[in-house]
């Protein structure tokens, strides 16, 4: 797989524009509140209010899976842009500021009517695992008309969030973005996002991936859910049959890249201490896509993913705290 290097952008991400509200909780809190550990659960406004009221003091940090990935690419030195929808409210301003300040172009105008900017109430347990409860708000109203076609055509890779598939308008927006990218000869990429998300959309996604996706990202649970198997190897083989390249992460066990019939196993970049797993998959994708943009081979792409993921799990929040470009320099001996 080769990304065109002579385009204005390395990647454009399409996703739910979300501000994360992150708090540390005990495992008991998850049980009391009926939160599904490790998953992304969609919640309505009422549940968002009651769950937030029960949560300890938190911090607000811009998130959103594809936006996190674009922030990672920019931090690595790549050229990234973002398509997603916020309201003209304070959280929308926070999201726009953080995204642009992180070096990602983001010019979709804020909606002046409708639901508020999306937020995800994220509980981090002492083991560093994150459980997400997302109120999609206006982000789910991303529609095909929000897809700037010339922007998509100007990017070597179009990266879409599976999360968007949960709402009809946003699903049409993904389909449109993928078609524009594909028609222009660009690489189309999809992240499966969440195993419950896979369950909800398995049949449609099998077709979507086979027909319209070149590069798929998944974690172990998502890949296994896609093929309703507990066997990791058969799940990655299944993905490899559908796409040109599949990159599957498996937490502490590293990742596997399937490309042109070849399987490449990649180790993790160990973090001193896993503080918050939020964004690990997003940053793996960032490193991988950045690798493609600089013409790296599949092994190096996966290593770059591991390095970016290793940084983000060492602190609270889903976007890099340091310039990732500094971390990937090959040391001179």
Site for a copy of itself in 112-141 (CB under 8 A): 116-117
Task: Say which DSSP state 105 is in.
Answer: B
Site for a copy of itself in 294-323 (CB under 8 A): 317, 319, 321
What is the closest distance, in whole angstroms, from the C-beta atom of residue 68 to a copy of itself in the complex? 11
> What is the rounded distance in angstroms from the CA atom of residue 14 to the CA atom of residue 95?
14
Asked whether position 101 contacts a copy of itself by CB under 8 A, the answer is: yes
Task: Pull the structure tokens for residue 224.
Answer: 């296994």
R_g of the chain, CA atoms, integer Å: 18
Asked whether position 50 contacts a copy of itself by CB under 8 A, the answer is: no
Choose one: 6-14, 92-100, 138-146, 229-237; the region binding a copy of itself (CB under 8 A).
92-100
**12 to each of 73, 152, 164, 182, how far by Cα in Å?**
10, 6, 15, 13
Nearer to a copy of itself, 34 or 56 (CB): 56
Choose one: 6-14, 29-37, 95-103, 176-184; the region binding a copy of itself (CB under 8 A).
95-103
The string of DSSP codes covering 37-75 is TTSEEE--HHHHHHHHHHSPS-EEEE--HHHHHHHHHHH
Task: Say which DSSP state 162 is in.
Answer: G
What is the closest distance, in whole angstroms, from the C-beta atom of residue 183 to a copy of itself in the complex? 34
Choose one: 93-101, 154-162, 168-176, 243-251; the region binding a copy of itself (CB under 8 A).
93-101
Cβ-count burial 32-71 (b if 16+ within 10 Å, e if not): ebebeebebbbbeeebbeebbeebeebebbbbbbbbbbbb
Asked whether position 98 contacts a copy of itself by CB under 8 A, the answer is: yes
Residues facing residue 11 across a β-bridge: 80, 157
What is the closest distance, in whole angstroms, from the C-beta atom of residue 24 to a copy of itself in the complex? 8
**278 to each of 61, 274, 331, how far by Cα in Å?**
11, 10, 28
What is the closest distance, in whole angstroms, from the C-beta atom of residue 318 to a copy of itself in the complex? 11
> What is the rounded distance in angstroms from the CA atom of residue 91 to the CA atom of residue 277?
23
Nearer to a copy of itself, 118 or 213 (CB): 118
Task: Pull the structure tokens for residue 120.
Answer: 């995800």
**Residue of 64, 102, 279, 287 interacting with a copy of itself (CB under 8 A):** 102
Binding mask 57-76 for a copy of itself (x = CB under 8 A): xxxxxx--------x-----
Nearer to a copy of itself, 21 or 147 (CB): 21
Neighbour count for residue 123 (Cβ, 10 Å) = 25
Nearer to a copy of itself, 56 or 270 (CB): 56
What is the closest distance, in whole angstroms, from the C-beta atom of residue 101 to a copy of itself in the complex? 5
Choose one: 49-57, 165-173, 224-232, 325-333; the region binding a copy of itself (CB under 8 A).
49-57
What's the CA angle centered on 220, arms 216 and 224, to 5 degrees?
A: 85
**Residue of 9, 55, 213, 324 interacting with a copy of itself (CB under 8 A):** 55
Choose one: 27-35, 51-59, 165-173, 292-300; the region binding a copy of itself (CB under 8 A).
51-59
For the chain, list the strands marked E by DSSP. 9-14, 18-24, 40-42, 59-62, 80-83, 118-124, 130-135, 155-161, 187-191, 215-219, 245-249, 255-259, 262-266
Residue ranges in contact with a copy of itself by CB under 8 A: 21, 24, 52-53, 55-62, 71, 89-91, 94, 97-99, 101-102, 116-117, 317, 319, 321
């Amino acid at each position: 797989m080769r990304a065109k290097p002579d385009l204005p952008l390395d990647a454009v991400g399409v996703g739910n524009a979300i501000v994360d509200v992150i708090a540390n909780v005990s495992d008991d809190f998850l049980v009391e509140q009926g939160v599904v550990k490790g998953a992304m659960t969609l919640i309505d406004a009422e549940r968002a209010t009651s769950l937030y009221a029960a949560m300890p003091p938190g911090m607000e940090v811009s998130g959103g899976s594809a936006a996190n990935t674009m922030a990672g690419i920019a931090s690595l030195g790549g050229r990234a842009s973002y398509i997603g929808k916020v309201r003209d409210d304070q959280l929308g301003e926070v999201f726009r500021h953080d995204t642009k300040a992180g070096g990602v172009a983001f010019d979709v105008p804020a909606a002046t009517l409708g639901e508020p900017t999306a937020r995800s109430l994220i509980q981090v347990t002492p083991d560093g695992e994150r459980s997400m409860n997302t109120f999609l708000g206006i982000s789910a109203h991303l529609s095909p008309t929000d897809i700037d076609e010339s922007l998509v055509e100007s990017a070597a890779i179009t990266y879409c969030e599976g999360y968007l598939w949960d709402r009809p308008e946003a699903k049409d927006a993904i389909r449109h973005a993928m078609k524009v990218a594909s028609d222009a000869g660009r690489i189309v990429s999809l992240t499966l996002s969440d195993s419950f998300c896979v369950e909800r959309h398995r049949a449609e996604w099998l077709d979507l991936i086979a027909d319209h996706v070149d590069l798929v990202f998944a974690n172990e649970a998502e890949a296994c859910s896609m093929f309703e198997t507990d066997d990791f190897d058969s799940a990655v083989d299944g993905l490899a049959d559908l796409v040109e390249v599949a990159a599957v992460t498996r937490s502490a066990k590293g990742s596997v890249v399937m490309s042109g019939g070849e399987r490449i196993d990649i180790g993790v970049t160990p973090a001193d201490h896993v503080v918050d797993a939020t964004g690990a998959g997003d940053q793996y994708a960032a490193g991988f896509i950045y690798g493609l943009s600089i013409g790296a081979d599949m092994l190096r792409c996966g290593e770059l993913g591991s390095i970016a993921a290793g940084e983000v799990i060492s602190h609270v929040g889903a976007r890099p705290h340091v310039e990732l470009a500094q971390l990937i320099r090959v040391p001179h001996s």
